[in-house]
Amino acid sequence: MKTIIPVGPYHPLQAEPEFFKLEVEGEKVTGLEINIGYNHRGHEYLAQRKTYEQIIFLVERICGICSCSHPFASVNAVENLAGIEIPERAKYIRTIIGELERLHSHFLWVGLAGHFMGYNTLWMWFWRYREPILELFELITGNRNHYAMMKIGGVSKDIEDEDISSIQKTMNELEAKTVMFIKAILDDPVIAARLGGVGILTKEDAIKYGVLGPTARGSGVAIDVRKDDPYAAYDLVPWDIIVFEEGDLLAKAKVRLLECLESIKIIRGCLEQMRKGEIETKVEDIPPGEGIGRHEAPRGEVFHYVRSDGSNMPLRYKVRAPSYMNVPSNEVAVKGYDIADAILVLASVDPCYCCTERMATLYDGNKKLTGKDLLKLSWKKTEQLKKKFSHSENKLASLL
Amino acid sequence: MNELEKEIQDTFKGISIKRHSPKRVYIEIDKEGAHELARFLYEEKGCRLVTATGTDTRKGYEILYHFSMDKTGIIYSVRTVVPKDNPKIMTLASFLPATNWIEREIWELLGIEFEGHPNLKRLLTAEDFPEAYYPLRRGE
Amino acid sequence: MSRKFWALKKSPWVFHVSAASCNNCDIEILDALTPKFDLERFGIRKVGTPRHADALLVTGVINRKNISRVLRVYEQAAKPCIIIAVGTCACNTNMFEPSYNVVGPFDKHLPVSVYIPGCPPKPEAIIMGVVKALGSL
């Protein structure tokens, strides 16, 4: 008996229309339909009516979690168009901001994944440790989110010497805790059972759908804009790309966790190598032409294309966020798995839910299930596994 | 010009290849050629489709298919123009699922019809959005 | 003060509605509920259905696709229900006003009682706004 279940794991909003429509037979998912547009605000249309400086503020508000990613790609695109070289200190500062953002975004995801599994300790812990990163942002840039650091030709604020020790102290703290928690998470048999072998996206499908970021790197596709097409200081400091072959949820989680450690390495490398100097070059007019800029956001490659006719507003501005490529791959990744796992699989691509959308409701069929019900199914499965492994969250809780 | 670009130049007719900067190459070709070139880049050369951009220009509606050769970090943007009085082009979604959504979006916002697309319906706008209103057309 | 409002003031239940937002305000609202800021010490509880809500925390801009959902949530909410607009987008659509898809700020469609501007407003500002809203009851 086929049932349709609508899902929107991020928001308990109970009204139509549907975001994800899961087709289910028995306990297994057999199909997925995706419906977006609830967040569509028309950035490309607006960008054609704004100056290049205004566009940086506009695109920053495409997404709140990866808030510097779009401005980063935007300045890369305009600088590519006009052939602008930025000073070295600006490269390091941009990289530091980008990596701090990756840290807080991955922590957010791990926390949410923990919540969806029913491991609320994980959720509270990781969200608690996001706070020092947001405080660092406030120290350096003046705001916890939407930092307005990127500027065509450089960055808008310098990192003061007296702030560097705060950054280093926070990095040390975070590194120690992250390493400890990674070991605990990977040793946990219940997490291994919930995430291992579930939601597999094969390498072939990953390539067909053009997926990006940790979703691709968890399926053996070794792409990362920071290595393939380096910009800012990513080719000036040593770091490694993290790739796993299995393609399941555990592989994606491992990629994100280990990338946190690489981000800390990059930030330390930048702080060490950074020398005093200018933080911006003077920019005159933007000549006619076209430019492409990209940035490896926490979710994958952000792509911006700009075309200029020589005036102070672009002729055409194109934005492509990574979730646009990652979310459709759920069509194949969720098929054949339990309904209880559906919510985890849909969350595993880390949809920047402003780049995709939110939820909804109740639909038909003989069974009526909402997003909250799916969450509860997931929690129930975790409880059953905990009993099977005679395990409690004590190990994780004791680390707090 | 590197090897790949030489190969493209030799294989396809009526083509113009411009290198804008070390890692940005723009290739202009007619719409039938664009379909073949896209297949060549994806199936034979292992390039990844990044996205596609539709623009309203004086010459017509221009479509840019952006392909990334991740091994070298070069983006090859395949440019083709469709006439405004007959804005149609063959879909790439038949062999490249990654174009599914972006072709729907370009149809919805610019009004270019992708022939053979498996699911050409609204992606971002509501069902009650005005018919035949294409926000990215410059006349609107 | 009527008994109903006194009861409301004691422990209001809030329901979080996100229209088309960049989700920064949403994350800051969730942050306001974490132990560091702890909105719950004021007795404020986040609920999973609008039917139990005394207040709606709204974020983002209303667009042509989500307007019917937002209006339906308000209809379903138990009355009296105050609407608290969190963030500049909810207060006055921020920079999205000229867009073809945006249909005006929240107060064009619904009775907003409290405006908390900011992009995003800090959790402290959200707490202050919610507490002031309760104080005004």
Mean of the per-residue pLDDT values of chain B: 93
Cα gap A177→A179, rounded to integer Å: 6
Q: How far is A229 from chain B (nearest CA, A)?
A: 4
Which H or E run includes A316?
A: strand A316-320
**A189-241 confidence digits (pLDDT tens):** 888 898 999 999 999 999 999 999 999 999 999 999 999 999 999 999 999 99
Take residue A184 and report the two structure tokens written for it. 């605990």
Q: Is A151 in the same domain as A17?
A: no
Contact A125, A400 (CB under 8 A): yes
Tell me, yes or no, whether A59 and A198 share the same domain.
yes
**Which CATH code of 3.40.50.12280, 3.20.80.10, 3.40.50.970, 3.40.50.800 fits the domain covering C3-135?**
3.40.50.12280
Whether residue A366 has pLDDT greater than 50:
no
Mean pLDDT, 10 residues at a time, chain C of 137 residues: 52 84 86 76 80 88 88 87 93 91 91 93 90 73
Q: Distance (Å, rounded) from C-alpha A376 to C-alpha A116?
A: 9
Give me the interface pTM, i.e. the ipTM: 0.95
Chain A hits for B125, Cβ within 8 Å = 37, 40
Task: Check whether residue A120 and residue A105 sit in a common domain.
Answer: yes
Point out the domain boundary residue: A325, A352, A369.
A325
Same domain, A250 and A335: no
| B128 reaches C (C-beta below 8 A) | yes
Do residues A69 and A135 share a domain? Answer: yes
pLDDT(B135) > 50? yes
Top-confidence range, A181-185, A390-394, B44-48, C45-49: B44-48
Residue carrying structure tokens 């596709």: A221
Contact residues of A toward B, CB < 8 A: 36-37, 40, 42, 44-45, 80, 83, 207-210, 223, 228-230, 289-292, 294, 301, 303, 305, 307, 315-316, 318, 320, 324-325, 328
For residue C109, give the 3-state DSSP assignment. Answer: helix
Identify the CA nearest to A265 among candidates A150, A172, A380, A133.
A172
Quick one: pLDDT at residue A352? Answer: 65
Q: Let me know if residue A225 belongs to a domain.
A: yes
SS3 (DSSP) at A154: strand
Tokens of residue B50, six digits? 């990044």
Instruction: Categorize the per-residue pLDDT at A94 as very low, low, confident or very high, splitting at 50, 70 and 90.
Output: very high
Residues of C in contact with A146 (CB under 8 A): 24, 119-120
Cβ neighbours for B27, distance < 8 A, ≥ 6 positions apart: B8, B15, B16, B17, B18, B37, B76, B77, B78, B79
Contact at CB, A208 and B66, closer than 8 angstroms: no
Q: Which among C51, B37, B123, B107 has a CA at the least distance from the CA of A357?
A: B123
Q: Which region among A64-78, A191-205, A378-392, B59-73 has the lowest average model confidence (pLDDT)?
A: A378-392
Closest CA to B16 of B81, B89, B60, B85: B81
Q: Are residues A245 and A105 in the same domain?
A: yes
Report CA-CA distances (Å) from B130 to B109, B111, B122. 11, 13, 12
| Residue contact A38–C35, C-beta within 8 A | no
Inter-chain contact B135–C64, Cβ cutoff 8 Å?
A: no
Q: Look up the CATH number of the domain holding residue A123.
A: 1.10.645.10
Q: How is domain B3-87 classified at the CATH fold level?
A: Beta Polymerase; domain 2 (3.30.460)
Residue B91: pLDDT band with limits 50, 70, 90:
very high
What counts of helices (H) and strands (E) characterise chain A? 16, 8
Q: What is the pLDDT of residues A275-302, one digit of tens each?
A: 999 999 999 889 999 999 999 999 999 9
Q: Is the pLDDT of residue A364 over 70?
A: no
Residue-wise pLDDT tens digits, A142-198: 999 898 999 999 999 999 999 999 999 999 999 998 998 898 888 888 888 989 999
pLDDT at position C47 is 81
**Within this chain, do residues A159 and A21 fall inside the same structural domain, yes or no?**
no
Average pLDDT over residues B25-41: 94
Higher pLDDT, C133 or B137: B137
Query: From A36, which residue of chain C is nearest by alpha-carbon distance?
Result: C65
SS3 A379: helix
Question: What integer best gives the mean pLDDT of chain A?
Answer: 86
Residue A290 tokens read as 């076209």
Q: Give the structural domain span for A24.
A: 2-39+326-391
> What is the spatial distance between Cα B73 and Cα B76, in angstroms, rounded to a whole number?
10
User: Would you list the domain boundaries of chain B?
Assistant: 3-87
Shared-domain flag, residues A275 and A343: no
* Residue A396: inside a domain: no
- C40 contact A CB<8A: no
Cβ atoms of B17 and B27 within 8 Å: the answer is yes
Pair (A369, A270) in one structural domain: no
Among C21, C36, C99, the residue with its CB nearest the CB of A131 is C36
Counted domains in chain A: 2
Domain spans of chain C?
A: 3-135
Residue type, A163: D
The two three-digit tokens of residue A153, written as one number: 């030709």
Question: For the segment C54-93, what is each residue's pLDDT rounded down to a tens digit?
Answer: 889 999 999 898 888 889 889 988 888 899 999 999 999 9
Place of tokens 């075309």: A307
Assess whether A216 and A258 both reside in one domain: yes
Residues A113, A189, single domain; the answer is yes
Domain shared by A14 and A150, yes or no: no
Strands A28-34 and C13-18, sheet pairing: unpaired
Separation of alpha carbons A248 and A338, rounded Å? 14
Boundary of a domain, candidates A282, A305, A325: A325
